[in-house]
Amino acid sequence: MSTPRTARAWVAQPAEAEAIASLLVAFRDHMGSSWPSENAFLASVERLLEDRDTEFLLATPDDDSPPAGVLQLRFRFSVWRAAPDAWLEDLFVCTDARRAGVGDALVTLAIERAQARDAKRIELDCNETNAAALALYERHGFSPHSKDSAGRDLFLGRAVG
């Protein structure tokens, strides 16, 4: 009888920059883009690993596999909460590791890291057509009503320059 596989997540260290960048390139490819370049991803990851307000989390479906998922977690101080907020960014799981608990392990660790940093809120954006991701986030208590408002919270953006 085989032992069940258990996904595991951890806070990435600077020596894991190439693994992080490689997963982000796979995410870029999954999104149908060809930019930024692999070198630009690596340079950005190395820069962000030096930023105390950014953490990269990695996960694997089991201890015998390389990292198969990545999540970028950013912190900023909120005047509305008088405490840090966390922003869950760039969650990606390789196709062959999906439905193995990798995404769940990453989100669980992100919430734990936000709590450890005394964040009062953790937010993210997600395309409304991404049913699998929305189900994952909802299982962890995420809602389109994170700001205690009567209406649904919307993420808005625009290009600058």
Query: Residue 153's pLDDT band (boundaries 50, 70, 90)?
Result: confident
Tell me whether residue 128 is in a domain.
Answer: yes
| 28-to-22, 38, 96, 151 alpha-carbon distances in Å | 10, 10, 16, 32
Q: Is residue 40 assigned to a domain?
A: yes
pLDDT computed for residue 3 by the predictor: 47
Two tokens, residue 150: 């009567």
Query: What domain count does the chain have?
Result: 1
CATH number at residue 91: 3.40.630.30
Whole-prediction pTM: 0.90
The pLDDT of residue 20 is above 90: yes
